[in-house]
Amino acid sequence: MTDRPDHPKQPDHEVAIIGGGFSGIGAAILLDRAGFDDYLMIEEGDGVGGAWHWNTYPGVAVDIPSFSYQFSFEQMTDWSRVYAPGEELKAYAEHCVDKYDVRRRTRLGTRVVSAEFDDDGELWRLGTAGGEQITARHVVVATGVLTQPKKPEIEGIGDFAGAVMHTARWDHDVDLRGKRVAIIGTGASAVQTIPSIAPEVAHLTVFQRTPIWCLPKLDAPLPLPARLAMRVPGARRATRLVSQTFVELTFPIAAHFHDLLPVAGVGERIGHGHLRRAVKDPEVRAKLTPSYALGCKRPSFSNDYLQTFNRSDVHLETTPIERVTPTGVVTTDGVEHDVDVLILATGFKVFEKGNMPAFGVAGTGGADLEDWWGRHRFQAYQGVSVPGFPNFFAILGPYGYNGSSYFNLIETQMAHIVRCLKQARRVGATRVEVTPEANTRYFERMLGRRRHQVFFQPSCSTANSYYFDANGDVPFRASPTLETMWTSSRFDLDDYAFASRSVTTA
Ligand code: NAP
């Protein structure tokens, strides 16, 4: 089609979805269902599944019950366990892209390095690492946040002579059997890796900086009869309802209504009891006891992590690391721990520059998204859209995620996005932009709810939690899930301006 100067240019696609994890897959399916079938899902990796594509470390598994950790419209009855292992999540992602015909509209191995809004054309120009340009009227950013492995800045780490690997980039060619292994970090990835590798290595040293709250995991295999029972009418729905209630109570309610409901206090008592029963040595137990309140940072769930520290071939080291040498790790007390393999369970970039998203985003008039957030703090209307960045929608923007199952987030945010796109179609608009007033109103509402949240109590200052950004904000959506669902499908459409060269509303 020929572009006319008085008309928006025709982009390659109506929607570009950046990211091929569950956010991108969910976005693709839900756009298609709403009649937006001209989309392209762009993924940097050589496979779909996001976190479940990249994270293949031993023991990787979901830590939200599988009955909740799946799309509401594509519920499986054949999970092998209550908490499915990573490979089943990866297979589920593959299943979804095939069943919903997403694969044909997917570009793998394509890294987006820039996104620029073309004010004249009212479209986005995406630059790829390969030097290509892809244009789209609308962009859905589905890049997640826990995607960029963070390597610790420890002196000498580059000189280590043995194998070094980050949990999110596990090298399956490294044979750990009979090796002296060290692991740095005790977050959720380490909690799963440590008990899985301890039985096969010669010796394991765990370098802990901040202990993690570890709660019992209500996990169990789901044998065939249990899976068949899930097919009985109503059984699957009832199981999901129980699971959703459990997830809702253990995170969104516990975190955002901390001062109203003592869920975190109950959780702490359960955590202390779990630790007491699991670890025999009182000194080790003391080292594993968090000094901050449950909820300041993400807790873990495991039935074998704490018990691993009873093994004579596992050593918990809490003296800070000073440096790494070619043959080991030296702590500040001068002790050198000899090591053959170094595992970095040191997490990811989260609410920081270069990760929200990982590529530069230039909105209307060339405004840079990171600069905008730098000046205004992280904020986005319902976690989806930012004034000055038209036709640009995020699944996991600031104040979007309330902490329940990630799949709730995807479906909720897509309800919001689809509503915007449908309205744009209805009024013939090629430009959709949240108003500054609506954005500010939402941001202030979120900040106003802070006083109820678990995050802003004094003990959180010792938690080293990635929930906090550089301003000390915690950009989670302070809402129960039912409220997020309600507001995403009922927000006032006048909160957006819908416009085109020839049409303007709001
Ligand atoms: P993480 O929670 O950020 O943990 C990183 C760990 O590395 C922390 O213990 C941290 O100590 C330590 N660390 C970082 N830099 C260090 C340094 N220079 N020296 C010493 N220690 C250092 O990362 P993660 O375990 O990969 O988990 C990230 C998130 O991914 C989780 O919170 C969860 O949301 C998700 N996840 C989910 C699952 C699941 O669903 N099953 C599994 C894995 C991960 P400090 O605490 O002192 O900073």
Ligand 1 centroid from CA 347, angstroms: 4
pLDDT value at 149 more than 90: yes
Instruction: Report percent pLDDT > 70 for the chain.
Output: 97
From the alpha carbon of 61, which atom of ligand 1 is closest?
Answer: 41
- Cβ proximity of 286 and 103 under 8 Å: no
pLDDT for 317-375, tens place per residue?
A: 999 999 999 999 999 999 999 999 999 999 999 998 899 999 999 999 999 999 999 99
Residue nearest to atom 3 of ligand 1 (CA): 347
Instruction: Report percent pLDDT > 90 for the chain.
Output: 92
Q: For position 282, what pLDDT does the model report?
A: 98
From the alpha carbon of 347, which atom of ligand 1 is closest?
Answer: 23
Q: What percentage of the chain's residues is helix, strand, coil (to nearest 5)? A: 35, 20, 45
Q: For position 1, what pLDDT does the model report?
A: 39
Q: How many CA atoms lie within 13 A of 56 on its CB side?
A: 11
From the alpha carbon of 298, which atom of ligand 1 is closest?
Answer: 32
Residue nearest to atom 31 of ligand 1 (CA): 188
Ligand 1 centroid from CA 468, angstroms: 14
Q: How far apart are CA 198 and CA 288, in angstroms?
A: 17
pLDDT for 14-33, tens place per residue?
A: 999 999 999 999 999 999 99
Beta strands of 427-474 (E only): which ranges?
Answer: 431-434
Print burial letters for 35-70: b (CB count within 10 Å at least 16), e (below 16): ebeebbbbbbbebbbbbbbbbbbbbbbbbbbbbbbb
Mode of pairing for the β-strands spanning 496-499 and 431-434: antiparallel
At 503, the pLDDT band (50, 70, 90 cuts) reads very low
**pTM for this entry:** 0.96
Ligand 1 centroid from CA 189, angstroms: 6
Ligand 1 centroid from CA 151, angstroms: 11
Residue nearest to atom 23 of ligand 1 (CA): 347
- Among 87, 146, 291, say which to mutate for ligand 1: greatest number of ligand atoms within 8 Å of CB: 146
Mean local confidence (pLDDT), 440-447: 98
pLDDT for 450-466, tens place per residue?
A: 999 999 989 899 999 99
Ligand 1 centroid from CA 200, angstroms: 23
From the alpha carbon of 210, which atom of ligand 1 is closest?
Answer: 47
Q: For position 504, what pLDDT does the model report?
A: 45
Ligand 1 centroid from CA 111, angstroms: 25
For residue 134, which of 3, 4, 16 has the smallest C-alpha distance? 16
Mean local confidence (pLDDT), 400-417: 97
Residues framing ligand 1 (Cβ under 6 A): 61-63, 146, 152, 154, 167, 184-190, 192, 207, 209-210, 298, 321, 345-348, 464, 466
Ligand 1 centroid from CA 335, angstroms: 25
- Cβ proximity of 206 and 287 under 8 Å: no
Q: For position 35, what pLDDT does the model report?
A: 98
Secondary structure element (H or E) that encloses residue 136, with its range: strand 133-141
Mean local confidence (pLDDT), 184-200: 98
Residue nearest to atom 29 of ligand 1 (CA): 188
Mean local confidence (pLDDT), 34-38: 98
For residue 207, which of 168, 171, 181 has the smallest C-alpha distance? 181
At 2, the pLDDT band (50, 70, 90 cuts) reads very low
The whole-chain average pLDDT of the chain stands at: 95
Q: Which residues contact 263 (CB under 8 A, 6 or more apart)?
A: 249, 250, 253, 254, 257
pLDDT value at 101 more than 90: yes
- Cβ proximity of 394 and 402 under 8 Å: no
Ligand 1 centroid from CA 187, angstroms: 4
Mean local confidence (pLDDT), 409-425: 98
At 8, the pLDDT band (50, 70, 90 cuts) reads low
Mean local confidence (pLDDT), 202-224: 97
Q: For position 4, what pLDDT does the model report?
A: 45
* DSSP secondary structure code for residue 198 in this structure: T
Residue nearest to atom 46 of ligand 1 (CA): 210
Ligand 1 centroid from CA 394, angstroms: 24
Ligand 1 centroid from CA 153, angstroms: 15
From the alpha carbon of 190, which atom of ligand 1 is closest?
Answer: 25
Q: For position 261, what pLDDT does the model report?
A: 83
Distances (CA, A) of 244 to 67, 130, 145, 412: 8, 42, 23, 15
Q: Domains of the chain, with CATH numbers?
A: 13-148+350-505 (3.50.50.60), 157-344 (3.50.50.60)
